[in-house]
A and B are shown apart, each in its own frame.
Chain A
C-alpha cells in the first residue's frame, strides 16, 4: 500500500469516525430533550375580577402567583418563585414584604430585592381580560413592575 493512500484513507476514516461520534452524541442529547412537556400551561385563566378582594394579595398555590388588586391602580400579578433558587416566597402583611424561606431573600411589595442573595427582583406577569370576562395570566410575558390592568 502506498504511503499516500494510507494517509488519505486514514484521514477519511478519522473524519468519518469523528463525525459519527458527534452525530451520535447530538442524537443522545436530542433524545434526552423532551419534545413534549406535560406541564401546567403558561397561559391560564384565574377567574373573574370580582373574585379578588382589595388589600393583601391573593396567593394562587397551583400557579405560584400573587394577585394584587388595588382600588385605584387595578390588577397586577407577581411570580411567587424566588429569583435565587426557585423556592416559593411568602407575602407578609406585617411588613408588606415577600420573604423567601430558603436563603432569606426579602423583596419589597413591588418585587425589588431588599436583602438576601436574590440576584433579580421578582417577576411580574402580564394579566389581561379574556373574552369571557375572566382574568388571564401569561407567564411567558414578563412585564415591568409598574404594569397594571384596570377593569
Chain B
C-alpha cells in the first residue's frame, strides 16, 4: 500500500473527481462545501439573475474579518492612544495603511452590496413563499451591517468619528421613553468618551461579528433548504404550474401513490411521514437543466471571490481611508457629517429629529421586515406586481436622492451649497 495515498484518502474520502459520484461526494462529504447542493440549476448560475451580490457581500465580510483581526494587533481602544495607533498604522506599521484602506473600503462596499442584494431579492420576488423568513433574517443582517459600520466609525477617534457618533447617538435619544437610557447604555456614560470607545470596540470586534456570522449561517442554510436560489423571473410560467404535486398533499394516500407524484422530488426527509412538506417541489423535467456544482458553481464563485478581493485591493492602493485630526469635544467641525449611508437620515434629522431620526426610520425598518407578510400577491412575475415594484423603486430613489443631497449639497451650517464646493476642496 502507498502510505501517501492512504493519508490522502483519509482526508478526502471521496471517489475520483472524474466520476459523477466523486463530484457529488466532494460536496456532501466536505464540511465547508456541503451547504451547496451536489447539482445546481444552470439558470441559477447566470450572472444576470443574481449578479452574485450575496456571494460578494459574504466575501467582503470575510475580507473585513481578516483585515479587521490584523488591525486589532496594532489598536488600543482608549483615547488618545486609539488615534496614535491610527497614525502608526498610517506611517509606521508595515502594510498598515493598506490593510486599513481595505477594511474601510470593504465596509463601504458591504453596505452597498447588502442593499443591492436586497433590491435584487425584492425585484425578483424571491422573498415570497417559502422564503418569507429568510427575507426577515436578511433585513436584520442589513441592520447589523449598518451597526458594524457605525461602531467601527468611532474607533479611529478622530474628529470625523467623534462627531458622527455624537450626532448618531443623540438621534437615538429622541426615541420616546427609552431613548436616553439606550444612549447611556451604548455610551457607558453621558458623552462620547473612553467608556463609549471601549463599548463600541467590543461591539465592533466581538458581539456584532458573532451575531452576523451566526445569522449568515442560518441565512445560507435556509436558502439551501428552500430549494436553492429562487428561479430567475424569466423562467417563470404564465400560470401557476398545476401539474406539480406535493408529496403528502391533502390525503395521506397520495404519499404512497405511484402516479404523477413519483416524477417529482422534494428536499424533505426521505421517509414516509404525515403532514405537508414546506419545501418547493421540483419536477423531473427541470432535472435535465442541472449541472454538477463541481466544477461549474465553484468555478464561478471562485471568480466572484477573486474579483471582489482584487477590486478591494485596487481601490485600497489608489484611495486612502480618511483620517482627520484628533477628536476634540470642544470643536465641532462645520459641517459635521455622519457616514454617507446615514446622510439620508441626517438630512431627515435636519428637519425634525423625532420624525426624521426615529419615526421614519423605525417605520421603514418595520415595513421592510414585514414585506413578505403584507404582500398578498403570490406571483413572482414582474408583470403581475407592478405596484410593488413601483413602491420599492420609489423607496430606493428617495433614499439615493436624500443621500446625494446630504453628501454633495450640504455645506457649513447644513446650508444648501452647490456640489462643486466639495470638489474644489472647500474644507
Contacts and interface: CB of A to CB of B under 8 A. Distances in A.
Q: Do A and B bind each other?
A: yes
A39 B333 CA distance: 23
B166 A34 contact: no
B285 to A, nearest CB: 51
Contacts of A50: none
Contacts of A33: 184-185
Interface string A96-126: 0001111110000000000001010000000
A99 B331 contact: no
A85 B349 contact: yes
B353 A29 contact: no
Given A37-B190, A102-B336, A102-B414, A119 B331 contact: no
A39 B353 contact: no
Contact of B350 (A32, A38, A62, A117): A117
A64 interface: yes
Please classify how large the interface on chain A is, using the bins under 10, 10 to 19, 20 to 34, 35 or more: 20 to 34
Given A32-B185, A101-B336, A85 B415 contact: no
Contact of B170 (A61, A86, A99, A104): A86
B209 interface: no
Contacts of B166: 85-87
A39 B413 contact: no
Contacts of A85: 166-167, 170-171, 349, 353
Given A39-B189, A39-B190, A117-B353, A61 B331 contact: yes
A33 B191 CA distance: 14
Please classify how large the interface on chain B is, using the bins under 10, 10 to 19, 20 to 34, 35 or more: 20 to 34
B329 interface: yes
Contacts of A84: 170, 353
Contact of A104 (B195, B332, B414): B414
Nearest to B337: A102
A128 interface: no
A88 interface: yes
B302 interface: no
Interface in B190-213: 190-191, 193-195
Contacts of A62: 330
Greatest chain A CB density within 10 A among B193, B195, B332 is at B332
Contacts of A100: 332, 413
Interface string B321-362: 000000001111111100000000010011111100000000
B332 A102 contact: yes
A-B complex: 3 closest residue pairs judged by Cβ atoms: A61-B330, A101-B334, A104-B414
Interface of B: 163, 166-167, 170-171, 184-185, 188-191, 193-195, 329-336, 346, 349-354, 412-415
Interface of A: 29, 32-34, 37-39, 61-62, 64, 84-88, 90, 99-104, 117, 119
Given A34-B189, A87-B332, A101-B413, 11 more contacts: A32-B188, A34-B188, A34-B195, A64-B329, A64-B330, A85-B170, A87-B163, A87-B166, A100-B413, A103-B346, A104-B350
